[in-house]
Amino acid sequence: MNRHLISAADLSLDDAVAILDTAEELAHLAERPIPKLPTLRGRTVVNLFYEDSTRTRISFEAAAKRLSADVINFSAKGSSVAKGESLKDTALTLQAMGADAVVVRHSASGAPHRLARWVSGSVINAGDGTHEHPTQALLDAFTMRRRLGGPDGLRVTIVGDILHSRVARSNVWLLRTLGAEVTLVAPPTLLPVAVDGWPCSVSYDFDSVLPASDVVMMLRVQHERMSDAFFPSVREYSRRYGLDGDRMALLPDHAIVMHPGPMNRGVEIAAEVADSPRSTIVEQVTNGVSVRMAVLYLLLSGSREHDGLGEHGVAEKDAEKHAAGNREADKPEAGKRGAGKRRAGERELVAAGGNPSRPRTGARTRGPA
């Protein structure tokens, strides 16, 4: 696996499967009374977010802390960025502070790639402009694998604002690598000019692709990135490209509905669909922590073979040490046991007429002659 995770297109099949397998093992960590591993103890992970985020930032923070890493959260608001500091100078500052990994979200496409040239630690792309969001694609693939057995051979339909969606780009590349068939559905104005070069098919008729879809992934319309009118009205868009109860009925019985969030209920997805048993929206958030733990683990802790990450457990040595530490913490302290013995000896000495406060020496003192 590479030192950085900047694009889903950079992941080979072996890399992607290794991350998903590791995430599967780490997912069981949440079932423990203390859901932590000491694997990244002493490492520092910086969350460098130039855009607003809820799920991604909290997910990366939770992932790093469950691996016992030190976490520094950086927000552009209230920092020296507001005073005009450049990305490079911020990067050099983080480098001087000893950051082992930088998780970056930026409004400019390509920012993580530039950042990787300036820092010696690992750089993880948490979303750059309209370019990519690789960990979102990984958690989506992980959710498909848990629900449907794996992306290989699945027919995945991605619907919505493809033009401005970094999630769509990363999913197209990753799902293709994992063997899925991807179809993009959107109005012509919300499709990239170069979409013909992507490894997927394109359709403008939402209803026609639903009966053959195993997964339907809905994307929100990103108004904050739009400067022109890309469709007549929100009502018109929802009528043609929104997923409601009637359209969900066209799906096969086993099909699932996904959404990377945040949702615009009543626009691209109806409330009844978002809250239905077929929806994996909340499950995707849960799986995001496991997947990001796996990414941090593999980037900062080395290969699976080197760190004892075997077929049936994540970092068995680390887990055993952690469990042993917990068992020792539950035992009575040796000092308390020793104090109890001393108190018992003092009681016996008092019963025999002695003085417990008198210091004991190796030889008896002689009385007066």
pLDDT above 90 coverage of the chain, percent? 66
Q: Is pLDDT above 70 for 345?
A: no
pLDDT at 150: 85
Mean pLDDT rounded to a whole number for the chain: 85
Active-site hit among 55, 114, 146, 247 = 55
Residues 6+ apart with CB under 8 A from 127: 51, 53, 56, 105, 106, 133, 136, 166
- Is 56 tagged catalytic? yes
Active-site hit among 4, 66, 131, 133 = 133
Q: Is pLDDT above 60 for 90?
A: yes
Stated pTM of the model = 0.82
**Terminus-to-terminus CA distance in the chain, angstroms?**
86
The phi-psi region of residue 149 (left if phi > 0; otherwise alpha if psi is between -120 and 50; otherwise beta) is: left
Q: Is pLDDT above 50 for 220?
A: yes
Active-site hit among 43, 105, 164, 292 = 105
Q: How far apart are CA 182 and CA 213, in angstroms?
A: 9
| pLDDT band for position 34 (cuts 50, 70, 90) | confident
pLDDT at 228: 66
| pLDDT band for position 229 (cuts 50, 70, 90) | low
Active-site hit among 77, 83, 341, 360 = 83
pLDDT above 70 coverage of the chain, percent? 79
- Is 361 tagged catalytic? no
CA distances from 285 to 140, 152, 260, 292, 319 (A): 10, 22, 9, 11, 24
27-30: list long-range contacts, CB under 8 Å, 24+ apart: 27/287, 27/290, 28/314, 29/66, 29/290, 29/293, 29/314, 30/286, 30/289, 30/290
Hey, what domains does the chain have and what are their CATH numbers?
8-132+285-315 (3.40.50.1370), 135-280 (3.40.50.1370)
Mean pLDDT of all residues in 90-115: 93
pLDDT in tens, 134-167: 999 999 999 999 999 989 999 999 999 999 999 9
- Is 105 tagged catalytic? yes
- Is 55 tagged catalytic? yes
Q: Measuring CA to CA, which residue among 197, 188, 210, 297 is closest to residue 256?
A: 210
Q: How far apart are CA 304 and CA 307, in angstroms?
A: 6
Active-site hit among 22, 39, 44, 56 = 56
Q: Is pLDDT above 90 for 337?
A: no
